[in-house]
Each structure stands twice: as structure tokens, then as C-alpha cells.
């Protein structure tokens, strides 16, 4: 039986929760800690690098879906959130991309705190990683990379297993054909260009928070356990309420703090259930109000869609590789891709639309120097992750190309249907509710598809799109791109903003107006970052660990 009182209770054993629990318990040895996770402690499919790649309806994921998206012909999309110790770091595609320097500098300027700038967070990016540079990164800037952190971070050519995919040379050639330059280190603070994929994978093994961050004896981990609400005395947090598998309620007390690390959908849900959120929603649900805050507002996410391509002519071979065997490319090495590209779209029509459709704040973010607008990557397999029935894969040499929008100006919401903690939240990203977003996504797809249709390299091998109506072939008009989007659109699962810094939490992640309550996860990110969120979340959790340790090390 677990004790009923701890100094700190962390709700959510995902990426941030595991990092915080490890760092805090190791440094504050005279305090007690409880980490609560709704899912199991482990799952056999987590450790292999491709163990949950392309998986669906997994028992270690929450069964979250969006509401039908009006701008996408009613398309419903899956929203991945890990339900296992380690959270998203245990089920993601393992990409490790920090983002652009200017984004963090704007974050710091927005809240008036230089700790959240690129230079402020850089020590924590470094602290979290052991970086293994790829073959093309000859001169590693050791001032921006870690050498002794818990997470092994490898560029694909240094990931410990052979990755000599035959299409590697083809991909670099077609990127260059449209003027995309090579960026040897996407994690240097400059993201633009095409770069070698960097991921938290080494020797075919996933590097995830629950495995790589150790626990101390003063930390209790409670898995397969659901928290129904945070408990208050006025605005002072006193603990949390659990519900057992039989439905019985149990109260656990926190002497110092409750820290919510339940994710972009879970943390706002718990706050609203506890009486912290929009007053109108609390009243509608019959929940006694503690604080009126815009919890669940400002939801952002990265939207993407796929196109599929086949090579009817002879395979474009890389150097002297004449067939794809395990000695050339180990299938367990990680997701089957080598490069990704981050792009800006500064065409006059895009800029005019931005000037006329955005608020002053959103326009400033849109115009940030070197901030990417979109991302493109090519996977050497048939990958259809939409919620609709899967298209039939073609035989022979194929690749799937993902067109990703990483700078959305649309904002969505997370709402509750009832005061029952067992009910899933209502997720509405409101994708493409601003026409600028649609035009930027189309610009991304159009440039990438044109390089597959018109480049000399692609024509040499007779590259053709498949998985579409013949009437759409080689058609990159808005209408044709919209048809593809409505068929294969999906979330990249990079949500943020629902407990945004500046409106719901302060710059130390304290819930504004409450005492002894913090939120530390992706929900605090105030505006969308043009990257994959795993690396930023490690840095955020590492920095906030130091903040909390400094506050309590003499208590």
C-alpha cells in the first residue's frame, strides 16, 4: 500500500515527468516524491527502434481523436499520446530537432525572461544528450552538443547499424534540384535546408526517458493509476484524488507541490476537472470554480499529408550497392529515412496574405528570421498514417513523401464533455482555419511534388505518383492538393499551448493564481515551434528541474 503523503506528487509519467522525477529525487534526497502514470511501467515493443513504428490502436496509447475538421471535409485525425512510462518518448518516431534560435529568443522576449531564449535553454539541450555526429558532420561544434547526457542522439549515419539505403543519393539530388542547400547540423540553432535525420536511436534501440533517466530510493513510481483531480484548500494545492480500478476514491497529500506532466491534452483536462479553467466551462460542467484561466485554449499542432511515389525504371543505386541486404541496411536501425528538409516560403503572395490576415503578434512570429514554415521528408516505404482505410502499397521501389506545416497560425481548443474523469477530452485543432496556413502547406507540397515531377533526376527513373485518381496526376493546383490533403491528412503529434506560458503558467511554470501547483510539459509552449517537440521537452524538463532544486535545496 502506497503511503498517503509525499513532498512532491508528479502526475504523468511521460517524457517530462520521468526527467523531473529523476533529477529532483536525486538532488533533493531529504524529500519524498511520487510519480503517477496511467499506463504500464513497460511494454516489450518500446525498446526496439521500430517497435511501434506505423502501429495503430496500441494499448500503450490513449485513443484520442480530433473532432471532424471543417476545413478538411470533415476529416477526423488520430492524436497520439503515450500511455506507458516514458509517454511520447516511448512511442514516437524518435526525431531529435531542437528548433530555430529565433523562436526561443522570441519566447524569451514575449515573457521577459532570458532563461527561455536559445542561449538560456542551450545548456539543457546539451545536458540531456550524448551526441553522435554523422559522417557528413566533420567539424562538430562542441559548444552546442552534449557528450555525457542520458539520451544518445545520433545522426542516421552514426546510429550504430548500417543504413545504406539505395535511395539516399536520389533524395539529396532532388533536394538540390530545387535549390535546397545542405545543413550539416539541424540542431545548431539553424534549421533551414536539408539535413541528415537526427534521432534518439542507437544500435537499433530506442532511447526514451523512462529507461535513460534513473530513479532514486526516495522516488515511488505508481503505474496503471488514474488521477481524477487536484485537491485545493482555497487556492493552495493540498494533494490529488486517485480512482482505483474498482472506482474507489483515494486522497494523497502533497506537502510542497503537485506538478502536472500529463501532456497537452491531459494537463488541461485535469486542471478543468479541478476547477481551474474558463469559468463558463466550469459552470456548464457543475465543477466548483477555483481559478478562471484560459486552460485548453491556444491549442496548436503540426498538420501534414502524404504523397506516394514509385520508380518504374531501374533502381537508383547508391555507389556500389547492388541490392538492399541486412549488411547494407539493418531494418531495425530506425525509421527508414535519411534526410528531412525545413523550408521558408517568402513568395510575395504568401507575404501579402500574412500582412492582411494576421494579428501583430502572429505576424511577428511568422516573420521571425530563419524560422521554418514547412518540413518535408521522404520515407523508403509505403506510409499512410491517416485514419481512413489504408491505400494499397505498390510493389517495387517506392517512397512516401510527407508535407508538413510547422508554423500554424490557426488556434484550437481542448474541451471536456462532462465532469467524469474517464471521459476523453474534445480535441479541435481547427486546422487551416486561417487561409495563410493552407497556402503555406500547399506551397510545401507543391515545391516537393514539382521536384518529383520535373527534376532531371526524377525523370531519369520515371518517378510517378501513385495512390491517386488519374485525373490528379501531375496536378498541383489548390483543388488537387486539397483532394490529397482530405484523403491522407494527419497530425504530426506536436501539439502545444493549452496551458500556455504567460496566460496559464508563469515563467517558472507555476499555475497563475494557485499555490503549490505547476504544469511542466508541452502544454506550456506559448506558440508553435518549427521542430519536433521531443528535444525541446527534454530541455524544458531539465531546466525546470534546476529551478525547483534551487528553490527547495535548503528546505
Whether 228 maps to a domain, the answer reads yes
CA distance 170 to 192: 20
Q: Are residues 322 and 451 in the same domain?
A: yes
CA distance 61 to 83: 5
pLDDT at 142: 78
Q: How far is CA 395 from the centre of its chain?
A: 32
Q: Taking the alpha carbons of 66, 69, 73, 74 in that order, is the dihedral positive or negative? A: positive
**Pairing label, strands 303-310, 398-405:** antiparallel
Whether 133 maps to a domain, the answer reads no
Q: Are residues 266 and 230 in the same domain?
A: yes
pLDDT at 388: 66
pLDDT at 353: 96
Q: Are residues 233 and 163 in the same domain?
A: no
Q: Indicate the pTM of the whole model.
A: 0.95
Q: Are residues 396 and 323 in the same domain?
A: yes
CA distance 523 to 275: 18
Q: Are residues 366 and 482 in the same domain?
A: yes
Whether 459 maps to a domain, the answer reads yes
pLDDT at 323: 38
> Residue 337 maps to which CATH number?
3.30.560.10
Answer whether 90's CB lies under 8 Å from 84's CB: yes
pLDDT at 320: 35
Answer whether 88's CB lies under 8 Å from 210's CB: no
- Residue 277's beta-bridge partner residues? 292
pLDDT at 55: 59
Q: Are residues 399 and 481 in the same domain?
A: yes
CA distance 328 to 315: 15
Angle at 304 between CA 393 and CA 54, to 5 degrees: 45
46 annotated to bind ligand:
no
The helix (H) or strand (E) run that includes residue 535 is helix 534-552
CA distance 24 to 26: 5
Q: Give catalytic residues, as residue numbers.
A: 494, 532
How many residues are present in the chain? Answer: 555
Domain that holds residue 461: 64-80+156-198+300-491
Whether 49 maps to a domain, the answer reads no
Which is nearest to 296 in space by CA: 449, 440, 78, 504? 504
pLDDT at 382: 85
Domain end call among 443, 462, 491: 491
Q: Are residues 336 and 453 in the same domain?
A: yes
Phi/psi of residue 47, nearest 5 degrees:
-65, -45
pLDDT at 482: 96
Interval 360-402: pLDDT, tens: 999 999 999 899 999 999 998 888 877 766 566 677 788 999 9
Q: Are residues 380 and 509 in the same domain?
A: no
Question: Which DSSP string corresponds to 228-297?
Answer: EEEEEETTEEEEEEEE-TTS-EEEEEEEEEEEE--HHHHHHHHHHHTTEE-HHHHHHHTPPPSEE--TT-
pLDDT at 336: 86
Domain end call among 491, 515, 541: 491
193 annotated to bind ligand:
no
pLDDT at 318: 45
Regions in the chain scoring below 50 on pLDDT: 317-325
pLDDT at 319: 40
> Residue 14 maps to which CATH number?
3.50.50.60
Whether 94 maps to a domain, the answer reads no
Answer whether 25's CB lies under 8 Å from 18's CB: no
Whether 100 maps to a domain, the answer reads no
Domains in the chain, number: 2
In a 13 Å sphere around the CA of 18, the CA atoms on its Cβ side amount to 27
pLDDT at 385: 79
Q: Are residues 316 and 176 in the same domain?
A: yes
84 annotated to bind ligand:
yes
Q: Are residues 472 and 346 in the same domain?
A: yes
Whether 505 maps to a domain, the answer reads yes
Interval 262-298: pLDDT, tens: 999 999 999 999 999 999 999 999 999 999 999 999 9
Q: Are residues 404 and 456 in the same domain?
A: yes
Q: Are residues 487 and 445 in the same domain?
A: yes
Alpha helices in 383-502 (DSSP H): 435-454, 456-460, 478-488
Whether 93 maps to a domain, the answer reads no
Domain end call among 474, 491, 508: 491
Amino acid at each position: 500500500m502506497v503511503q498517503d503523503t509525499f513532498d512532491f506528487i508528479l502526475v504523468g509519467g511521460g517524457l517530462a515527468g520521468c526527467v523531473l522525477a529523476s533529477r529532483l529525487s536525486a538532488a533533493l534526497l531529504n524529500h519524498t516524491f511520487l510519480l503517477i502514470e496511467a499506463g504500464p511501467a513497460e511494454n516489450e515493443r518500446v525498446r526496439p527502434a521500430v517497435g511501434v513504428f506505423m502501429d495503430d490502436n496500441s494499448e500503450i496509447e490513449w485513443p484520442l481523436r480530433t473532432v471532424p475538421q471543417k476545413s478538411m471535409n470533415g476529416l477526423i485525425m488520430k492524436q497520439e499520446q503515450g500511455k506507458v512510462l516514458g509517454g511520447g518518448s516511448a512511442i514516437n518516431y524518435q526525431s531529435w530537432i531542437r528548433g530555430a534560435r529565433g523562436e526561443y529568443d522570441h519566447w524569451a522576449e514575449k515573457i521577459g525572461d532570458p532563461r527561455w531564449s536559445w542561449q538560456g535553454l542551450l545548456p539543457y539541450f546539451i545536458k540531456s544528450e550524448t551526441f553522435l555526429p554523422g559522417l557528413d558532420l566533420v567539424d562538430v561544434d562542441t559548444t552546442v552538443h552534449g557528450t555525457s547526457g542520458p539520451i544518445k542522439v545520433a545522426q542516421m549515419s552514426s546510429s550504430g547499424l548500417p543504413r545504406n539505403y539505395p535511395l539516399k543519393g536520389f533524395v539529396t539530388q532532388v533536394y538540390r534540384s530545387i535549390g535546397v542547400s545542405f545543413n550539416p547540423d539541424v540542431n545548431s540553432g539553424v534549421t533551414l535546408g536539408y539535413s541528415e535525420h537526427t534521432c534518439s536511436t542507437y544500435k537499433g534501440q530506442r532511447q526514451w526517458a523512462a529507461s535513460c533517466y534513473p530513479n532514486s530510493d526516495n522516488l515511488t513510481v505508481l503505474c496503471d493509476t488514474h488521477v481524477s483531480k487536484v485537491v485545493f484548500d482555497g487556492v493552495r494545492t493540498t494533494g490529488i484524488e486517485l480512482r482505483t480500478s474498482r472506482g474507489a476514491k483515494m486522497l494523497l497529500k502533497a506537502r510542497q507541490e503537485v506538478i502536472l506532466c500529463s501532456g497537452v491534452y491531459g494537463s488541461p483536462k485535469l486542471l478543468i476537472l479541478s476547477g481551474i479553467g474558463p469559468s463558463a466551462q466550469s459552470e456548464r460542467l457543475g465543477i466548483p470554480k477555483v481559478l478562471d484561466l484560459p486552460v485548453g485554449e491556444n491549442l496548436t499542432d503540426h498538420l501534414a499529408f502524404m504523397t506516394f511515389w514509385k520508380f518504374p525504371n531501374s533502381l537508383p543505386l547508391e555507389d556500389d550497392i547492388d541490392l538492399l541486404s541486412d549488411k547494407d541496411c539493418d531494418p531495425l536501425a530506425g525509421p527508414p529515412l535519411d534526410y528531412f528538409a525545413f523550408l521558408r516560403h517568402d513568395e510575395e503572395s504568401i507575404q501579402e496574405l500574412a500582412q492582411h490576415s494576421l494579428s501583430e503578434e502572429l505576424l511577428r512570429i511568422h516573420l521571425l528570421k530563419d524560422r521554418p514554415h514547412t518540413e518535408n521528408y521522404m520515407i523508403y516505404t509505403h506510409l499512410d498514417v491517416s485514419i481512413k482505410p489504408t491505400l494499397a502499397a505498390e510493389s517495387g521501389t517506392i517512397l512516401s513523401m510527407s508535407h508538413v506545416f510547422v508554423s500554424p497560425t490557426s488556434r484550437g481548443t481542448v474541451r471536456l464533455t462532462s465532469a467524469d474523469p474517464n471521459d476523453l477530452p474534445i480535441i479541435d485543432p481547427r486546422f487551416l482555419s486561417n487561409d495563410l496556413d493552407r497556402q503555406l502547406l500547399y506551397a510545401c507540397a507543391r515545391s516537393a511534388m514539382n521536384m518529383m515531377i520535373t527534376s532531371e533526376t526524377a525523370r531519369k527513373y520515371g518517378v510517378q505518383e501513385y495512390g491517386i485518381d488519374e485525373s490528379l496526376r501531375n496536378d498541383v493546383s489548390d483543388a488537387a492538393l486539397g483532394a490529397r490533403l482530405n484523403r491522407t491528412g494527419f497530425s504530426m503529434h506536436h501539439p502545444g499551448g493549452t496551458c500556455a506560458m504567460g496566460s496559464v503558467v508563469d515563467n517558472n511554470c507555476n499555475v497563475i493564481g494557485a499555490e503549490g501547483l505547476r504544469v511542466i510539459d508541452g502544454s506550456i509552449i506559448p506558440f508553435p515551434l518549427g521542430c519536433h517537440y521531443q528535444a525541446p521537452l527534454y530541455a524544458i524538463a531539465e531546466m525546470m528541474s534546476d529551478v525547483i532544486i534551487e528553490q527547495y535545496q535548503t528546505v
